[in-house]
Amino acid sequence: MAKPILMSQEGFDNLAKELERLKGTERKTIAEAIREAKAHGDLRENAAYHEAKLNQARLEQRIAELEKSLLSAKIVERPEDAVHGSAHLGSRVTLEDLEFGDELTVELVGSMEADPAHDKISITSPMGEALIGRSAGDLVEVAAPAGTIQYKVLAVE
């Protein structure tokens, strides 16, 4: 059996909505693009047809990935062994970069929900692993490509 993929209920619901959209409107859009490209004739040198088929392959790969993830998903609300005030899956953690004094807030999420551009950090990432179990006032070190970054945990919600 596949290893469970930890995620929040919100993350599970978002992936389920994405899967529904991909199986519905996206499949229809790509099928229409393929039909239109076929109408142009010779498929051997038809760039639009080859692009549409490539998009179809990518879509089907993403659908398979989402289906597998949703089947393996384990919804985690709050671990029973989490200490009140300590970071866990679903926590919002406010940090201070000790070198530059910058403040940032991240949300700890499962690997399928991660979106660093929107401050959603996977609990399996170096930063996520460093934050699990930490509380306000703790100092953490995160290994990054540019070297080790030190943070102070300001708050855990």
**Where do the domains of the chain lie, and which CATH numbers do they carry?**
5-75 (1.10.287.180), 92-156 (3.10.50.30)
pLDDT at 2: 66
Over residues 41-69, the mean pLDDT reads: 92
The answer, as to whether pTM is greater than 0.75, is no
The 3 state secondary structure assigned to the chain is: CCCCEEECHHHHHHHHHHHHHHHHHHHHHHHHHHHHHHCCCCCCCCHHHHHHHHHHHHHHHHHHHHHHHHHHEEECCCCCCCCCCCCCCCCEEEEEECCCCCEEEEEEECCCCCEHHHCEEECCCHHHHHHCCCCCCCEEEEEECCEEEEEEEEEEC
Digit-coded pLDDT (tens) for 67-112: 999 999 988 875 544 556 889 888 999 999 999 999 999 999 988 8
